[in-house]
C-alpha cells in the first residue's frame, strides 16, 4: 500500500482496497451515516462489494422517521451527459429523503463523472459534508479524484458550475481497472503519458514498454499499481505546490490548450483523452519549432500515443483556423496572447522562470496545425 497526503486528503493506493472501504471510513468518520453514490454501470460491478464492506464496519446508511434505511446505492445513469445540475438536484432530494444530515459522509464510487458530481453534491449539501473518493476509472484514479475540483456541466460548457472541496480520503484500488472498457482505459492513459512527458522520462519509457500489459484486458496487480501510483505521485507533487493553479500546476495543462480547442470545435465529439493526445503532439511540435524542445520529441510522444490506440492527428473536417480561434477562450492568456505549457525535453517543462507559461503568437500555432 502507498499513502500520500494532499490538502487534508489521505490518498491510499492498494490492490484490493475496495474491501477496506468500510473500515477506513469508520476510522476517519466514526459514527457517521454513509451514502454510497455511483452510476448504474459501476453500481452493478462494485455496489454490492462497497455496501458489504460498509455493513461489516458497523456504519449505517441514513435514517427516517420510519426507522433506519436499508443498505443501498444511490444511482444515476452513466455518462458525461448526466453530470448536470438536474442529476445534482435529484441526488440531493433523494439524500434529504433518506435522512442524511450534517453527520453524513458521501462516497463517490465511480469514474470522473461520479467524482465531480458527488464532490459537488457534498460541497453544497447543508453547506458542505465530508466525502470520500473511490475512483474506478484510470482517469478518476490519476486525475479527477486528486486535487479537490468538483462540479457539473451546463449547456454552455463543461464544468461551469462547481466548487473546490477536498475529499477526506481517496481510496484507490488499481485492481478495478480490470473491468474498465479499453476505450476508457485509453482516455486515462493519455493523462498518464502526459505525466511522463511533464516530469518523468523513465515513467514515460516504462508506459511505452508496458502498453501491451496495460491494454490486454487483464492488467495484473503489479502493472496496475505502478501505473496508478507513479501518476498519482506526479499529480499530487504538482498540485501540492500550487492548489489554485497559478504557476507550476500549469504544467498539467500540457496538450490541453489545443486539446480543449478540439473538444470545443467538435462539440465534445472527440473524447478528452483523444483530444489531449492530439494536443500533446501539436504542442510538442510547436515547442520544437519555437526552438524550445529538442528535435524528435513530438515524434516520440506520437509513437507512444499511437501504440496506445490514441489519435495523433486532427480529425478530418476540422480547419486549423477554427482551432486557433477556439484557443482564444482558454483561461490562460498573457497580454491577450494564449499561453502554452511546453516541454523542453522528455520529463522537463520549459519556462520555469515565467511560471511555465509560454505566450505563443497565433501565426505559429496556425502554421504548425497546417503542416501536421
Ligand atoms: N475534477 C478534476 O480535476 C477532473 C480531472 C479530469 C477529469 N475530470 C472529469 O472526469 C470525467 C471523465 O472521467 P471518466 O473518463 O472516468 O468518465 P466516467 O465517470 O463517465 O467513466 C467512464 C465510463 O466507464 C465506466 N466505468 C468506470 N469505472 C469502471 C470500472 N472499473 N469498470 C467498468 N466500467 C467502469 C463508467 O460507468 C462510464 O460509463 C469528466 O467529466 C471530466 O470533466 C475531472
Ligand atoms: Zn485532461
Q: Which pLDDT tens digit goes with each residue over 358-370?
A: 999 999 999 999 9
Catalytic-labelled residue, pool 243, 245, 322, 362 = 245
- Kindly give, in sequence order, each residue whose CB lies less than 8 Å from that of residue 57, ignoring residues fewer than 6 positions away: 22, 23, 25, 26
Domain count along the chain: 2
pLDDT value of position 221: 98
What's the mean pLDDT in 294-309? 97
**Could you tell me the CATH number of the domain that includes residue 65?**
3.40.50.1970
- Same domain for 113 and 225, yes or no, is no
**Residue 161: strand pairing partners:** 152
**Whose grid coordinates read 463543461?**
158
Q: Which of 157, 179, 201 is the last residue of a domain?
A: 179
Alpha carbon distance 17, 141 (integer Å): 13
What is the distance in A from the centroid of ligand 1 to the CA of 29? 26
- Same domain for 190 and 163, yes or no, is no
- Same domain for 26 and 77, yes or no, is yes
Q: Which of 179, 212, 243 is the last residue of a domain?
A: 179
Q: Whose CA is nearest to atom 4 of ligand 1?
A: 144
Give yes or no: 230 in active site. no
- Same domain for 37 and 172, yes or no, is yes
Q: Which pLDDT tens digit goes with each residue over 277-287?
A: 999 999 999 99
What's the mean pLDDT in 105-110? 98
Alpha carbon distance 335, 187 (integer Å): 33
Nearest CA-CA partner of 46 in 69, 27, 68, 21: 21
- Same domain for 193 and 339, yes or no, is yes
- Output the DSSP codes for 214-274: HHSSS--HHHHHHHHHHHHHHHHHHHHH-TTSSSGGGGGGTTHHHHHHHHHHTTT-S-HHH
Give yes or no: 191 in active site. yes
Catalytic-labelled residue, pool 260, 263, 283, 288 = 260
What's the mean pLDDT in 245-254? 85
- Same domain for 113 and 51, yes or no, is yes
Indicate whether 65 pLDDT > 90: no
Query: pTM to 2 decimals?
Result: 0.96
- Same domain for 168 and 237, yes or no, is no
Probe target for ligand 1 pocket from 111, 183, 235, 253, with the most ligand atoms within 8 Å of CB: 111
Catalytic-labelled residue, pool 191, 233, 263, 288 = 191
* Mean pLDDT over each residue of the chain, to the nearest integer: 94
What's the mean pLDDT in 152-167? 94
Q: Whose CA is nearest to atom 7 of ligand 1?
A: 144
**Could you tell me the CATH number of the domain that includes residue 188?**
1.20.1090.10
- Same domain for 211 and 224, yes or no, is yes
Q: Which pLDDT tens digit goes with each residue over 49-60?
A: 999 999 999 999
The rounded radius of gyration (Å) of the Cα atoms in the chain is: 21
Domain of 68 in residue numbering reads as 2-179
- Same domain for 271 and 128, yes or no, is no
- Same domain for 70 and 142, yes or no, is yes
Indicate whether 36 pLDDT > 90: yes
pLDDT value of position 330: 73
**Portion of the chain with pLDDT greater than 70, in percent:** 96
Give yes or no: 260 in active site. yes
- Same domain for 249 and 142, yes or no, is no
pLDDT value of position 351: 87
- Same domain for 18 and 95, yes or no, is yes
Amino acid at each position: 500500500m502507498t499513502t500520500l497526503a494532499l490538502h487534508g486528503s489521505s490518498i491510499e493506493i492498494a490492490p484490493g482496497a475496495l474491501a477496506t472501504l468500510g473500515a477506513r471510513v469508520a476510522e476517519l468518520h466514526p459514527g457517521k451515516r454513509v451514502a454510497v453514490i455511483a452510476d448504474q454501470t459501476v453500481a452493478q460491478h462494485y455496489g454490492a462489494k462497497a455496501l458489504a464492506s460498509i455493513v461489516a464496519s458497523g456504519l449505517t446508511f441514513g435514517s427516517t422517521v420510519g426507522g433506519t434505511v436499508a443498505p443501498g446505492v444511490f444511482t444515476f445513469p452513466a455518462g458525461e451527459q448526466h453530470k448536470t445540475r438536474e442529476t445534482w438536484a435529484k441526488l440531493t432530494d433523494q439524500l434529504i429523503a433518506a435522512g442524511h444530515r450534517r453527520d453524513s459522509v458521501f462516497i463517490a464510487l465511480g469514474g470522473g463523472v461520479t467524482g465531480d458530481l458527488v464532490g459537488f453534491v457534498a460541497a453544497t449539501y447543508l453547506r458542505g459534508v465530508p466525502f470520500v473518493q473511490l475512483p474506478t476509472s484510470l482517469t478518476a484514479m490519476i486525475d479527477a479524484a486528486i486535487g479537490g475540483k468538483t462540479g457539473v456541466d451546463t449547456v454552455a460548457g463543461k464544468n461551469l458550475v462547481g466548487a473546490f472541496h477536498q475529499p477526506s480520503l481517496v481510496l484507490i484500488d488499481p485492481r478495478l481497472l480490470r473491468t474498465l472498457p479499453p476505450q476508457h482505459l485509453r482516455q486515462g492513459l493519455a493523462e498518464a503519458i502526459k505525466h511522463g512527458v511533464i516530469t518523468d522520462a523513465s515513467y514515460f519509457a516504462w508506459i511505452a514498454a508496458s502498453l501491451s500489459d496495460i491494454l490486454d484486458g487483464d492488467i495484473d496487480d503489479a502493472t496496475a499499481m505502478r501505473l496508478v501510483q507513479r501518476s498519482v505521485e506526479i499529480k499530487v507533487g504538482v498540485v501540492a505546490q500550487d492548489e489554485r493553479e497559478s504557476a507550476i500546476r500549469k504544467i498539467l495543462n500540457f496538450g490541453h490548450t489545443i486539446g480543449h480547442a478540439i473538444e470545443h470545435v467538435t462539440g465534445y465529439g472527440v473524447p478528452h483523452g483523444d483530444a489531449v493526445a492530439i494536443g500533446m503532439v501539436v504542442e510538442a511540435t510547436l515547442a520544437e519549432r519555437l526552438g524550445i524542445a529538442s528535435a524528435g520529441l513530438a515524434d516520440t510522444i506520437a509513437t507512444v500515443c499511437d501504440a496506445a490506440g490514441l489519435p495523433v492527428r486532427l480529425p478530418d473536417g476540422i480547419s486549423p483556423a477554427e482551432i486557433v480561434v477556439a484557443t482564444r477562450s482558454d483561461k490562460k492568456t498573457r497580454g491577450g496572447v494564449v499561453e502554452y505549457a511546453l516541454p523542453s525535453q522528455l520529463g522537463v517543462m520549459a519556462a520555469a522562470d515565467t511560471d511555465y507559461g509560454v505566450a505563443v503568437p497565433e501565426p505559429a500555432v496556425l502554421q504548425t496545425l497546417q503542416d501536421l
